[in-house]
């Protein structure tokens, strides 16, 4: 199963999500758009778009945002599974006609997630622990597309996880992170974060110790369920 992974920054790799997908038989082809002009030209069965601190509206700074939106629409037209994380979730919303905009506050660090729809049948949503905290690092949010079903939420930013149809998922939070990825982001935080979140280093260092194992387990569950959609699509296409 060939999966195209769009990575917008060298600081934002696919982490534990990729580890799990590869262990389950997926072959990942990463397009690092800040270094490579185009994706490897092969046939893909699924698409994953990772995050970046750049806004989904910043066309002038990252012209390939429009290319990513077009790819989302192409994979959707071909009925292939898609997953978007942070920026990726925002770009999926854009691809389905919704707006991305600044959120009232930045959401940085691990925050608690809540089930938004008790009728949702996703296996990774069943029996969610009451203390599930997942990594956040975003300044924007998005309007939920009309065709989307909201799956997860929290008290800081409403739209946290959603599904469109059966095969498209958007996650505002970073389910893919390892402790090393989080610490790298923390080390590279900008002057605005340093000024407005002066205690973030200590808080996030402690949060990683407490929440990273639960986050990893959640990522594995999502990876397994999403990859089953890829396998199912291959059966029908055969």
- Work out the angle at residue 125's Cα, subtended by the Cα atoms of residues 147 and 226, and round it to the nearest 5 degrees: 70
How many Cβ atoms sit within 10 Å of the Cβ of residue 133?
20
Q: What span, in angstroms and rounded, lies between the C-alpha atoms of 13 and 174?
A: 11
d(C-alpha 37, C-alpha 123), whole Å: 37
- Do 223 and 171 meet the contact criterion of CB atoms below 8 Å apart? no
User: 222, 176 in Cβ contact below 8 A?
Assistant: no
Residue 208 CA: distances (Å) to CA of 112, 176, 180, 216: 13, 13, 10, 11
Active site residues: 86, 174, 176
CA distance 12 to 97: 26
């Amino acid at each position: 199963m060939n999966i195209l992974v769009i990575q917008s920054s060298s600081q934002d790799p696919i982490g534990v999500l990729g580890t799990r997908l590869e262990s389950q038989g997926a072959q990942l082809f990463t397009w690092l758009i800040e270094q490579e002009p185009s994706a490897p030209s092969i046939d893909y069965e699924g698409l994953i778009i990772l995050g970046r601190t750049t806004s989904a509206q910043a066309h002038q700074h990252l012209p390939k945002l429009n290319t990513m939106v077009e790819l989302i629409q192409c994979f959707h037209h071909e009925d292939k599974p898609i997953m978007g994380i942070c920026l990726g979730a925002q770009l999926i919303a854009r691809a389905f006609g919704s707006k991305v905009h600044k959120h009232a506050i930045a959401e940085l660090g691990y925050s608690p997630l809540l089930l938004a729809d008790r009728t949702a049948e996703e296996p990774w949503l069943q029996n969610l622990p009451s203390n599930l905290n997942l990594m956040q690092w975003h300044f924007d949010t998005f309007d939920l597309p009309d065709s989307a079903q909201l799956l997860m939420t929290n008290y800081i930013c409403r739209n946290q996880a959603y599904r469109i149809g059966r095969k498209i998922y958007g996650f505002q939070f970073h389910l893919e992170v390892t402790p090393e990825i989080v610490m790298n982001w923390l080390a590279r935080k900008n002057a605005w974060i340093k000024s407005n979140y002066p205690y973030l280093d200590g808080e996030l260092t402690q949060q990683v110790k407490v929440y990273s194992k639960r986050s990893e387990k959640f990522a594995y569950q999502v990876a397994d369920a999403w990859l089953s959609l890829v396998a199912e699509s291959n059966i029908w296409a055969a």
